[in-house]
């Protein structure tokens, strides 16, 4: 379990914060909260993939010390955007990783996909608070990340709404009395669609999430319910429970963000409106609280809450993730790599929606995994899995 104790700065002192993935969905929500609470935060480092102009504007607004673009081709644009500001500009994978190691009180790890692993590990290595939205870091290298947290004394603060909900109601002192974790899922835009209708689904339909405003890749993961599979794997690393003690329940209203069931029959739930600024605000201010602009929950107006079991025939991704976690030997690395390639291929129009899960299933059958004891172990298996995935996509298109 990665929820260890470390010293935290006093609530009356501005918290030095870095945002890895500042121009993405998580980064923008984080920036909005900082903007509303400027006296509570000093921004240290900001990173983006290649949105140089947007990153430069944010860095200037918050008077950051460092701005980094992962794509070296965007460096000149970033440097020009920061000209005369005194803010350092850098680019490339090494600079991105180094940004995670810049001294700060809190680091928001919000880069989507396996691309965020290096910078997340750098952040963890600092021994400071890490607000983790990059679930792929735990999916791909959970043992490495947890070992690094133990060495540095880092505390991981979950930013996913589901894991943050569990974090808020998980009684650490009574961990042995937890019966199970219950991750809730909206069901995505295709919750009531038949497989025949889903087969013809377009990227625009897949990213039109009914409740949440998310990036394209995460929105597609929600539509296939792979997002919930990845969250199941992440929960197994974050909390001291076995994979068989983590359930998934479809909850279309996205009001109950997840639950913890105890041996005495009690079930504790965290609720709120579907706004990522709620869990982000909780992490930014932890162990205190801070105000967020999210709409307040009105249960009387909602009237009723619905729950249902996930349909594993129409949405096989949850079972694939659970199986990969149980299999070990890097199977979750294979799962994640295949899914990232398949989702990108769907968004590019190279495969159909149902072929996303089918591609992941076929890659898991074709690639023999191995234990992940180092970053190179991860990288070699990730490369192989992506190569196999791309070949399968090419043969299907």
Indicate whether 15 pLDDT > 50. Answer: yes
Q: What is the pLDDT of residue 326?
A: 96
Whether residue 131 lies inside any domain: the answer is yes
Q: Report whether pLDDT(325) > 70.
A: yes
Domain co-membership, 63 together with 50 = yes
Give tens-digit pLDDT for 242-261.
999 999 999 999 999 999 99
Residue range 333-364, pLDDT digits in tens: 999 999 999 999 999 999 999 999 999 999 99
Check whether residue 176 and residue 150 sit in a common domain.
no
Please give the backbone phi and psi of residue 116, each rounded to the nearest 5 degrees, phi first: -90, 0
Whole-angstrom Cα distance, residue 226 to residue 218?
9
The pLDDT mean for the chain works out to 94
Nearest to 269 by CA among 182, 174, 375: 182
Q: Which residue, of 131, 159, 187, is where some domain finishes?
A: 159
- Which tokens in the block code for residue 252? 């279309």
Q: Quick count: other Cβ atoms within 10 Å of Cβ 309?
A: 9
196 belongs to a structural domain: yes
Of 340, 111, 156, 147, the C-alpha closest to 230 is 340
Amino acid 13: pLDDT: 86
Domain boundary among 159, 191, 213: 159
Mean pLDDT of 289-303: 96
CA distance linking residue 81 with residue 53, whole number of Å? 6
Q: Are residues 116 and 39 both part of a single domain? A: yes
DSSP letter (8 states) at residue 295: P
Residue 11 binned pLDDT confidence (cut-offs 50, 70, 90)? low
The per-residue pLDDT for 396 is 82
pLDDT tens per residue across span 367-385? 999 999 999 999 999 999 9
- Domain end point (choices 288, 323, 358): 323
| 155 and 179 within one domain | no
Q: Does 6 reside within a domain?
A: no
Domain containing 226 equals 169-275+297-323
The reported pTM is 0.92
The torsion of the CA quartet 281, 282, 283, 289, rounded to 10 degrees, works out to: 100
Residues 314 and 179 in one domain: yes
What integer pLDDT is reported at residue 5 of this predicted model?
A: 44
% of the chain surpassing 70 pLDDT: 97
Split into its structural domains, the chain has a count of 3
Do residues 175 and 316 both lie within one domain? yes
pLDDT, position 240: 95
Is the pLDDT reported for residue 6 higher than 60? no
Together in a domain, 52 and 67: yes
CATH of the domain at 135: 3.40.50.720
pLDDT of the residue at 263 = 98
Residues 102 and 210 in one domain: no
Partners of 300 in the β-ladder: none
**302 in the same domain as 203:** yes
CA dihedral 260, 183, 215, 155 (to 10 degrees): 40
What is the predicted pLDDT for the residue at 4? 44
Over 50: is that where the pLDDT of 210 sits?
A: yes
| Residue 40, in any domain of the structure | yes
Q: Are 350 and 393 in contact (CB under 8 A)?
A: yes
From residue 88, alpha-carbon distances to 3, 44, 63, 71, 360 in Å are 33, 11, 11, 16, 41
Cβ contacts of 252 within 8 Å, gap of 6 or more: 186, 187, 191, 210, 306
Torsion of CA 192, 196, 198, 199, to 10 degrees: 170
Same domain, 124 and 193: no
pLDDT tens-digit map of 35-86: 999 999 999 999 999 999 999 999 999 999 999 999 999 999 999 999 999 9
Residue 232 lies in a domain: yes
Does 147 lie in the same domain as 48?
yes
The pLDDT of residue 10 is 52
At 115, the pLDDT band (50, 70, 90 cuts) reads confident
Domain-located, residue 306: yes
**Whether residues 104 and 242 fall in one domain:** no
Q: What is the mean pLDDT of residues 194-199?
A: 97
Q: For residue range 86-114, what is the model confidence (pLDDT) as tens digits?
A: 999 999 999 999 999 999 999 999 998 88
């Amino acid at each position: 379990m990665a929820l260890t104790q470390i010293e935290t700065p006093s609530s009356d002192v501005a918290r030095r914060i870095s945002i890895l993935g500042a121009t993405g969905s998580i980064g923008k929500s984080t920036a909005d909260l900082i903007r509303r609470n400027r006296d509570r935060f000093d921004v240290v480092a900001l990173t983006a993939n290649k949105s140089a102009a947007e990153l430069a504007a944010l860095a200037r607004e918050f008077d950051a010390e460092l701005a980094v673009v992962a794509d070296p081709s965007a460096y000149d644009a970033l440097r020009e955007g920061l000209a005369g500001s005194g803010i350092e500009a850098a680019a490339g994978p090494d600079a991105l990783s180094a940004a995670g190691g810049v001294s700060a009180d809190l680091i928001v790890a919000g880069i989507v996909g396996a691309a965020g692993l290096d910078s997340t590990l750098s952040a963890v290595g600092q021994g400071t608070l890490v607000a983790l939205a990059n679930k792929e870091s735990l999916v791909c290298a959970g043992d490495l990340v947890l070992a690094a947290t133990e060495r540095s004394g880092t505390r991981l603060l979950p930013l996913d709404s589901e894991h943050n909900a569990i974090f808020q109601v998980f009684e650490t002192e009574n961990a042995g009395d937890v019966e199970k974790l219950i991750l809730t899922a909206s069901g995505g835009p295709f919750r009531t669609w038949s497989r025949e209708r889903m087969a013809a689904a377009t990227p625009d339909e897949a990213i039109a999430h009914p409740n949440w405003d998310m990036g394209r890749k995460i929105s597609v993961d929600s539509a296939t319910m792979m997002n919930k599979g990845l969250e199941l794997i992440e929960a197994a690393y974050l909390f001291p429970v076995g994979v068989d003690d983590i359930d998934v329940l479809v909850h279309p209203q996205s009001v109950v963000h997840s639950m913890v069931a105890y041996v005495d029959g009690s079930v504790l739930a965290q609720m709120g409106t579907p706004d990522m600024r709620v869990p982000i605000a909780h992490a930014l201010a932890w162990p205190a609280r801070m105000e967020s602009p999210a709409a307040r929950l009105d249960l009387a107006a909602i009237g009723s809450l619905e729950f249902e079991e996930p349909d594993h025939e129409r949405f096989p991704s949850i079972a694939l993730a659970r199986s990969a976690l149980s299999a070990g030997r890097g199977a979750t690395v294979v799962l994640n790599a295949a899914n990232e390639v398949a989702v990108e291929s769907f968004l590019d129009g190279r495969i159909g929606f149902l072929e996303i899960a089918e591609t992941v299933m076929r890659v898991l059958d074709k690639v023999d995994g191995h234990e992940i004891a180092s970053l190179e172990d991860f990288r070699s298996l990730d490369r192989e899995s992506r190569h196999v995935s791309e070949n399968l996509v090419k043969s299907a298109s």
